[in-house]
Structure 1
Amino acid sequence: MLVLVTGGTGFVGAHTVAALAAAGHRVRVLARDADRVAPALSPLSVPSEAVEVATGDVTDEPAVNRAVRGVDAVVHAASVYSFDSRWHAATRGTNVRGTEVVLDAARRFGVGRTVHVSTFGAMLPSPTGVVGPQSPPGTARETYLASKAKAERVARWHQDQGEPVVISYPPALLGPDDPKLGDQNSRLRNMLRGLMPVWPGGGFPVGDVRDTAALHAALLTVPLADGNRHFGPGRYLSTRDYVRAVREVTGRRLPTLFLPARAMLPFAQLTDVVQRVWPWHIPAEYGACYVCACDARPEAGAPSAGLTPRPFAETLADTVRWLHRSGRLTAAQAGRAAATSIDHGAPAAPSVRAAASRREEARP
């Protein structure tokens, strides 16, 4: 099967490409910069012969049409995921429009299966504190969550029209080999660097990017009769449990003050305003605090294609070890995890070849 993956140079997208290649699929990656594909995929040992590259942006209709033409399935993982207020304009301009363009193209070319990568946050806030496959898109005004809620409505409209669209809802994701050091891995790093001594109360679902990637590979073949909305494997953790788990993995004390999340929201809103002009990142974002204040969890038995999440301690340990190996944490900051860090010496994958746009147009 030839599968188009948008966002293949991002955290979720790159791991999804690796899972698809491991399952025997050929993958076409739509990327704005073809030179970023090999650095994102090589650490995951993706064979070069399994991947081709189409250059373009998800909001560019002609580029998307060229990329979609001839594929059997699409995994739409491209989005701007950040609570940093400096990224608000890019978030608004990409997340909804990109979903419209990609899903419209998949419909136009009769693609057999499209997986739209949403997020559990697309259904926040929940009046019951629980989100499930039938929960309505959320009404949050925070920029990232609002954009994903609007994209969710687009995907559900296609489902209502009878299109073979499957939606995945990843939890907050950690894991190694993050090409751009995204939101969650950055937060863990900041915590271990001593930049987050204060945490909001509440909690959120969290999981491993490799488990969500495995879900996306499974969703290409799961019968639509089994449901078309699936939650990424993960587990709900209170922020206290999260910090406790990091302490156990690293062996560090990590003194932390916990404050009521809703009481912290005004301060977090102020930091968002300051962040727009402050050149260095402030690790106190309104969106992250808002998610904790919502304190929502997936409903019991929410479908996840039968996949079971790996132990959270394993995810944490692997992530901290990678942060240390890649030079993003010192041995002291990584603590016990650094002492058990092992480089297995996996051979780097050959360079991923790029396909020119005219070659894409020549495909049937």
Structure 2
Amino acid sequence: MRVLVTGGSGFVGSYAVAALLRAGHRVRVFARDPGRAGKTLGGVGVDTAAVEMYSGDVLDAEAVAQALDGCDAVVHAAAALGVTDPRTSVLEVNVTGTRNVVGGAVARGLDPVIHLSTIAVFVPPAGPVIRAGDALARPSTDYGRSKVAAEHYVRRLQAAGAPVTTFYPGGVIGPRQPHLDAMMEGLAGALNLVWPTPRGGVSLLDVRDLGEAVARAVTPGLGPRRYLLGGHYLTWPELADRCDALTGVRCRRVPVPGGVMVALGSLLDAAKRVRRFDYPLTRDAARIMVTLVPSDDAPAIDALGVTLRPVEESLTDALRWLAAAGHLSPARAGRLAPATAGRPVPGEGAGRSAPGKAGRPGPARSSGDPGTIDARREAGPAMTSSRLKDAISPTVQRMAGSAWFAKVGPKVVPPLDRVLHRLSGGRLLLPQYIVPSLVLTAVGHRSGLPRRTPLACLPEPDGSFLVVGSNFGREHHPAWTANLMHEPAAEVDYRGRTIPVTARLLEGEERAEVWPRLVKIWPTFDRYVERSGRRLRVFRLEPRDRAHG
């Protein structure tokens, strides 16, 4: 059969092309950049001379129609993840693109028409196990709504008898991902920085197994079908344990309540509305992380006759490639790190042939969107703390200086920080990757009780800390500054250490000397002064043994 594949320049699409060619099909790739698609396909072992290349965008109905002409079947793997061409929206790419490709294929009588969706359309789940017939979710982000809207459209076609086959994959992992998606970037970020362990879990599906399953579904005459293929379900601590065993390096774990994860995702969503930046955690992603349950993959495995690789094999290849490609630091990759800088990138092969006999992993579920191809940024270094700061800091500063955040921030950020700080044993604060941060414990001058306040700070070479009573730019001085003026003896928790300090309010030349340095680490301080109309109090917190000795 001649099969049109959209998204052939992406992760799932490229492996699907390889599997289709191995199965003896003729493949036509529809991509916005055929040159990039050729490079990606070559990386997974595809001889590009054996592939027809069509240039075009899934939003261009005429270009899609031309690509569909002469084809017998289609695999629609192209999608937008939320970081797309600013001239188009996620909703437009995922819904209009699906209408053009899937709808156009159905109108021409192609059979089968394969649509790659995501298991995330079922989250939050309706029960303890996800099944293909479950009700669709109601996500809050544009991306989530776009995937569900596309799913509704496809289901209407299926209800009318159209031969549309839908795949609902879990979190897809493996080597040679041309654009890191939320699953793979999140895996690298957790190992490089800190591994949150909320309730819930994730399902991991090898991209090579998904490509093989898609190729096996290219069989005409079977009518509408839905294949749930989550993969191997692991709780977050279980996944951390597997990674530890494979790398030989224990990842830095932080137990995080589900509500905190969702709140963090909501804060990042708000920041992205101020200024677009690329970071995998969103409110929808956090909800998926904390509500995932296993999926019933048995019907799909039996129907397609596939055997899923052991999760250890998939993780090994994924982590080894992340390290070789520079997304995972050698220290965190451990024994999976490249031996030399010139070592070839592992996992370049297109995969193995799956045995004909069905094999079942444990029940499975997903966390990311697997069938996404088109719209992630170019892969770059891993999300190290410095890169995270560079990517997010300008946006967070702009958001922190806004009037609406002055109302919302004091209600959300300090409680979140206190919870994270307590659960991580003093190692983690929400803004610590943006600006140095500490937790101040001072005595309430009215209550006499200890009051804990997360604060941005400027550590000084002499061991002291400078802190500013910004109060998010509101009119009144924050309560902690009054507490220090009544009782200067306090404590600071900084990077897991508890330090007794004495607070001293800075005035005159001493304050004038430190202010430019404070504004340098957090320029929003100047905006707080303008909006509040007050002179922000600045304190030096000196280690008590030095201050008294």
Normalised-by-shorter TM-score class: 0.7 to 0.9
Residues 88/258 of structure 1: CA separation in 2 closer, same or farther (3 Å cut)? farther
Residues 284/228 of structure 1: CA separation in 2 closer, same or farther (3 Å cut)? closer
1:28 partnered with 2:25: no
Once residues 186 and 266 of structure 2 are traced to their aligned partners in structure 1, the CA distance between those partners, rounded to angstroms, is 18
Please tell me the residue identity of whatever aligns with 1:303: A
Other structure's SS at 1:131 match: coil
Q: What whole-Å deviation, never above 9, does each CA across 1:139-192 have from its counterpart, x for those lacking one?
A: 222332222111111111111111111111111111001111222111112122
1:251 partnered with 2:242: no
Once residues 244 and 283 of structure 2 are traced to their aligned partners in structure 1, the CA distance between those partners, rounded to angstroms, is 25
Q: What whole-Å deviation, never above 9, does each CA across 1:270-327 have from its counterpart, x for those lacking one?
A: 1221134457644543232110122232136342323221111111110111122223
2:62 corresponding residue in structure 1: 62
CA drift at 1:91: 1.8
Once residues 17 and 238 of structure 1 are traced to their aligned partners in structure 2, the CA distance between those partners, rounded to angstroms, is 32
Other structure's SS at 1:137 match: coil
CA drift at 1:204: 2.6
Please tell me the residue identity of whatever aligns with 1:308: T
Once residues 345 and 325 of structure 2 are traced to their aligned partners in structure 1, the CA distance between those partners, rounded to angstroms, is 14
CA drift at 1:347: 9.1
Residues 269/307 of structure 1: CA separation in 2 closer, same or farther (3 Å cut)? same
2:536 corresponding residue in structure 1: none
Please tell me the residue identity of whatever aligns with 1:74: V
Residues 338/154 of structure 1: CA separation in 2 closer, same or farther (3 Å cut)? same
Residues 166/284 of structure 1: CA separation in 2 closer, same or farther (3 Å cut)? closer
Other structure's SS at 2:29 match: strand
1:218 partnered with 2:212: no
Q: Percent identity?
A: 34
List runs of 5+ in structure 1 lacking aligned partners.
350-364
2:47 corresponding residue in structure 1: 47
Q: Please report the RMSD computed on the Cα atoms of aligned residues, expressed in angstroms.
A: 2.7
Please tell me the residue identity of whatever aligns with 2:101: V
**More displaced 10-residue stretch of structure 1: 335-344 or 252-261:** 335-344
Please tell me the residue identity of whatever aligns with 2:222: L
2:199 corresponding residue in structure 1: 201
CA drift at 1:252: 0.9
Report matched runs for 1:97-112 at 5 Å: 97-112=96-111
Q: Which has the higher contact order (CA 8 A, sep 6+)?
A: 1
2:308 corresponding residue in structure 1: 309
Other structure's SS at 1:335 match: helix
Residues 242/223 of structure 1: CA separation in 2 closer, same or farther (3 Å cut)? farther
Once residues 340 and 319 of structure 1 are traced to their aligned partners in structure 2, the CA distance between those partners, rounded to angstroms, is 16
Determine if contact 1:211/1:232 at 8 Å carries over to the other structure.
no
Please tell me the residue identity of whatever aligns with 1:48: T
Residues 223/201 of structure 1: CA separation in 2 closer, same or farther (3 Å cut)? farther
**More displaced 10-residue stretch of structure 1: 244-253 or 296-305:** 296-305
Once residues 203 and 281 of structure 2 are traced to their aligned partners in structure 1, the CA distance between those partners, rounded to angstroms, is 19
Q: What whole-Å deviation, never above 9, does each CA across 1:320-347 have from its counterpart, x for those lacking one?
A: 1112222333322311112689749999
Q: Which residue, out of 235, 238, 241, partners 1:241?
A: 238
**More displaced 10-residue stretch of structure 1: 236-245 or 262-271:** 262-271
Please tell me the residue identity of whatever aligns with 2:159: D
Once residues 259 and 87 of structure 2 are traced to their aligned partners in structure 1, the CA distance between those partners, rounded to angstroms, is 22
2:425 corresponding residue in structure 1: none
CA drift at 1:203: 1.2
Once residues 122 and 346 of structure 2 are traced to their aligned partners in structure 1, the CA distance between those partners, rounded to angstroms, is 41
Determine if contact 1:275/1:282 at 8 Å carries over to the other structure.
no
Determine if contact 1:11/1:182 at 8 Å carries over to the other structure.
no
Please tell me the residue identity of whatever aligns with 1:209: V
Q: Which residue, out of 268, 288, 294, partners 1:297?
A: 294
Structure 1-normalised TM-score? 0.87
Determine if contact 1:88/1:144 at 8 Å carries over to the other structure.
no
Determine if contact 2:199/2:236 at 8 Å carries over to the other structure.
yes
Once residues 262 and 85 of structure 1 are traced to their aligned partners in structure 2, the CA distance between those partners, rounded to angstroms, is 29
Q: What whole-Å deviation, never above 9, does each CA across 1:200-230 have from its counterpart, x for those lacking one?
A: 32113221111111110010027627x7111
Once residues 337 and 44 of structure 2 are traced to their aligned partners in structure 1, the CA distance between those partners, rounded to angstroms, is 21
Determine if contact 1:233/1:309 at 8 Å carries over to the other structure.
no
Once residues 75 and 129 of structure 2 are traced to their aligned partners in structure 1, the CA distance between those partners, rounded to angstroms, is 26
Residues 87/185 of structure 1: CA separation in 2 closer, same or farther (3 Å cut)? farther
Once residues 336 and 43 of structure 2 are traced to their aligned partners in structure 1, the CA distance between those partners, rounded to angstroms, is 20
Other structure's SS at 2:255 match: strand
**More displaced 10-residue stretch of structure 1: 300-309 or 106-115:** 300-309
Once residues 163 and 28 of structure 1 are traced to their aligned partners in structure 2, the CA distance between those partners, rounded to angstroms, is 22
Q: What whole-Å deviation, never above 9, does each CA across 1:95-147 have from its counterpart, x for those lacking one?
A: 11111111121022111211111111112222214221211222222332222
Once residues 330 and 287 of structure 1 are traced to their aligned partners in structure 2, the CA distance between those partners, rounded to angstroms, is 28
Determine if contact 2:324/2:346 at 8 Å carries over to the other structure.
no
Q: What whole-Å deviation, never above 9, does each CA across 1:227-281 have from its counterpart, x for those lacking one?
A: 7111226121111111111111111111211222234212220122113445764
Once residues 24 and 35 of structure 1 are traced to their aligned partners in structure 2, the CA distance between those partners, rounded to angstroms, is 24
Structure whose alpha-carbon radius of gyration is higher: 2
**More displaced 10-residue stretch of structure 1: 69-78 or 124-133:** 124-133
Please tell me the residue identity of whatever aligns with 2:151: E
CA drift at 1:92: 1.5
2:139 corresponding residue in structure 1: 140
Once residues 217 and 260 of structure 1 are traced to their aligned partners in structure 2, the CA distance between those partners, rounded to angstroms, is 40
Residues 344/23 of structure 1: CA separation in 2 closer, same or farther (3 Å cut)? farther
Please tell me the residue identity of whatever aligns with 2:58: V
Q: Which residue, out of 257, 266, 278, partners 1:269?
A: 266
Once residues 114 and 218 of structure 1 are traced to their aligned partners in structure 2, the CA distance between those partners, rounded to angstroms, is 13
Once residues 88 and 254 of structure 1 are traced to their aligned partners in structure 2, the CA distance between those partners, rounded to angstroms, is 40
Once residues 140 and 46 of structure 2 are traced to their aligned partners in structure 1, the CA distance between those partners, rounded to angstroms, is 38
Determine if contact 1:2/1:71 at 8 Å carries over to the other structure.
yes
